[in-house]
Amino acid sequence: MNTNDSGKSRKELLVELCAMKQQMTRLQKVESDLKDSEERLRILFEFAPDGYFLSDLRGRFIDGNKAAEKIVGYKRSELIGRSFLKIKLLSASDILKAATAVAKNAAGKPFGPEEFVLNHKDGTQVPVEVMTLPVRIKDQSIMLGIARDIGERKRIEKELQESEKRYRTIFEHASDGIVIMQVGGESLIVNESFARMHGYNSPQEMKNIRLQDLDTPETSQLAPERLRRLMAGETMDFEVEHYRKDGHSFPLHVSCKVIELGGKQYYLGFHRDITERKKAENALHESKEQLRALSLRLAEIQENERRALSRELHDQVGQTLSVLGINLSDMRNRLSKDDEKTSMFDDIIEQIEELTEHVHDMTLELRPTILDDYGLLSALRWYCERLSKRIGLPIRVKGKGIDSRLDLETESALFRVAQEALTNMAKHARARHGTVTLEETHSKVRLVISDDGRGFDADTVHRQNKKSGWGLMIMQERISALGGFLKIESNLGKGTRVIAEVKR
């Protein structure tokens, strides 16, 4: 092969051509990679969830993505080349902030994030959070803005603020004292009512006080078990005693539970000062005790009067009638058999005998001497035998004699209960059989009067005619005054049971 001194050899030309081809291949790859990168960037820009926009330093719109179009309601074609001010996208109050953003970006500094209110094309306002960055594209300084629609966040924040305001209003103005305390912590969050009921001027005055500092010793002893139950998920109601600031204790009713806030457990308690309620309860208890004592005293007086009247009828009236009958019989015997006055004397003597028998019955009804002489069981047998004969109703008496006599008031009260119950049985029950049972244990005496009659609805009868139950109500008070109880069990068609129990 010949060579030219001034030219290049064929080999050298081939080498250069290969190098050029390789360079072109690299350039094509770079160009392809650049296009791919630009495409990826375009996709990211176009479909980013936040609004992206480009503008010059005069505020004229250059480009934007779909999210930006959605935020303002304008198509890009409607915005390109136009100023944000002329379109009036910005609220008047935000123009100064926008100018600050442009000035910072012109100086090469980022701006934001700051909140703006944009005017949507449809006239509504859209709260956004905007951040702008200075960038250079094709040797031109422009602004890249990123706008995020914070309307939903603002709505939630508003709802939270309103909820917080409602909570704060309820918390601060509730009549009950409210306590919130982190489980395992010591600091208290209390409201005005809690502070006032404990004698403090404000909740701030109690900020260094622990809940256990307020407990009396009795309350402290019960606290561990209550806390265990609260931690197990129970909602609890109980009464406690706390100390006031002046050192005096007072009673409270507490309703509380453990709740979870922000992943932490808190004790939430509602406290109510029940000082006045306790005073009323104590006064009512004292009144009941006084009433029971009065009932017992009245029953004692009544029995004494019955006993005195029974004795008076027996000793005075009964004896007088007996003497009168004897005298009249003597006078009649002195008359001749054919005397017309004989029949008149016979009638008078018969009436006196009937009156004497009636006085005797009254004497026994007022206060049967058998109760005083032989005790309760004997008196019950005697009374049931007489009543059974009078009304034709078999009445069985079951029981053993009491080992030792009961006191006079107890025997009288139980006998009167039986008397009242048996009288009601005779009047209303339409029973075929009746039973009286007297039982004794080492600690109590139990009297049961039962029948197999038609029974009744106790509540209905009581509502329809309260007076119908006064006799048993009086008996109930008498038994209560002795520290016992009386109850009535009855159902329609299933008979009735009157049960009285007293302590030995």
pLDDT digits (tens, 9 = 90+) for 72-106: 999 999 999 998 888 889 988 899 999 999 999 99
Q: What is the rounded CA–CA span in Å between residue 362 and residue 45?
A: 114
Q: Do both 379 and 503 map to the same domain?
A: yes
Q: Which of 167-171, 245-249, 404-408 has the highest mean pLDDT?
A: 245-249
pLDDT digits (tens, 9 = 90+) for 452-489: 999 887 665 555 445 445 666 777 878 887 888 899 89
How many Å separate Cα 142 from the centre of its chain? 66
Q: Using the 8-state DSSP alphabet, how is residue 65 labeled?
A: -
Whether the predicted pLDDT of 137 surpasses 50: yes
Answer yes or no: is 2 within a domain: no
Of 163, 173, 232, 242, nearest in space to 206 by CA? 242
Within a domain: 4: no
Kindly report the length of the chain: 504
Q: At 160, which amino acid appears?
A: L
- Looking at the structure, do residues 13 and 113 belong to the same domain, yes or no? no
Say yes or no: 164 and 149 in one domain: no
Least confident of 34-43, 62-71, 169-178, 233-242: 34-43
Residues 18 and 63 in one domain: no
Q: State residue 336's pLDDT score.
A: 78
145 and 184 belong to one structural domain: no
Q: Provide the strand spans (E) within 343-473.
A: 395-399, 434-440, 444-451
**Which residues, including other chains, have CB under 8 Å from residue 91's CB and lie 6 or more apart?**
116, 117, 118, 119, 125
Looking at the structure of the chain, the number of domains it has is: 5
The phi and psi torsions of 31 (rounded to 5 degrees) equal -65, -40
* Mean pLDDT of the residues in the chain: 85
In a domain, 290, yes or no: yes
Q: What percentage of the chain has pLDDT greater than the value 70?
A: 91
Indicate the range of 24-33, 346-355, 432-441 predicted with least confidence.
24-33
Domain finish residue from 273, 303, 330? 273
Does a structural domain hold residue 43?
Answer: no
Q: How far is 159 from 140, CA to CA, in rounded Å?
A: 45
pLDDT of residue 3: 47
> Do 266 and 165 belong to one domain?
yes
Residue at which a domain ends, from 102, 119, 153: 153
Percent of the chain with pLDDT over 90: 41
Local structure of residue 304 (DSSP, 8 states)? H
**pLDDT for 8:** 65
H helices of 215-341, in order, are 217-231, 275-312, 319-334
Q: What is the pLDDT of residue 356?
A: 79
Domain for residue 75, yes or no? yes
Residue 91 sits in a domain of what CATH number?
3.30.450.20
* Confidence bin at 107 (pLDDT 50/70/90): very high
Verify that 238 and 201 share a domain, yes or no.
yes
Residue 465 confidence (pLDDT): 46
Q: Is 42 within the bounds of a domain?
A: no
What CA–CA distance (Å, rounded) separates 289 from 275? 21
Lowest mean pLDDT across 304-313, 381-390, 405-414: 304-313
DSSP 379-405: HHHHHHHHHHHHHT--EEEEE---SSP
Is 172 in the same domain as 249?
A: yes
The domain in which residue 409 lies consists of 375-504
> Of 59-68, 94-103, 168-177, which gets the smallest average pLDDT?
168-177
Q: Are residues 292 and 207 in the same domain?
A: no
Q: Which of 234 and 37 is assigned the larger pLDDT?
A: 234
**Interatomic CA distance for residues 494 and 486, integer angstroms:** 19
Neighbours of 379 (CB within 10 A): 22
Please indicate, yes or no, if residue 29 is contained in any of the structural domains: yes
Of 153, 172, 205, the domain-final residue: 153
Nearest Cα to 497, choosing from 479, 468, 471, 472?
A: 472
Res 432: pLDDT: 92
Does 343 lie in the same domain as 296? yes
Rg (CA), the chain: 53
Position 460 scores a pLDDT of: 58
* Residue 177 contacts residue 191 (beta carbons within 8 Å): yes
Do 504 and 379 lie in one domain? The reply is yes
Q: Mean pLDDT across the stretch 326-332? A: 82
DSSP string, 134-201: EEEETTEEEEEEEEEE-HHHHHHHHHHHHHHHHHHHHHHH-SSEEEEEETT----EE-HHHHHHTT-S
- pLDDT attached to residue 169: 83
pLDDT at 71 over 80: yes
Q: Which residue has the tokens 């106790």?
A: 458
Is the pLDDT reported for residue 361 higher than 50?
Answer: yes
The pTM of this model reads 0.50
Kindly state whether residue 116 falls inside one of the protein's structural domains: yes
Q: Are residues 401 and 475 in the same domain?
A: yes
- Asked whether residue 403 carries a pLDDT value surpassing 70, the answer given is no
User: Does residue 422 contact residue 449 with C-beta atoms inside 8 Å?
Assistant: yes
pLDDT in tens, 252-297: 999 999 998 878 899 999 999 999 999 999 888 888 778 777 776 7
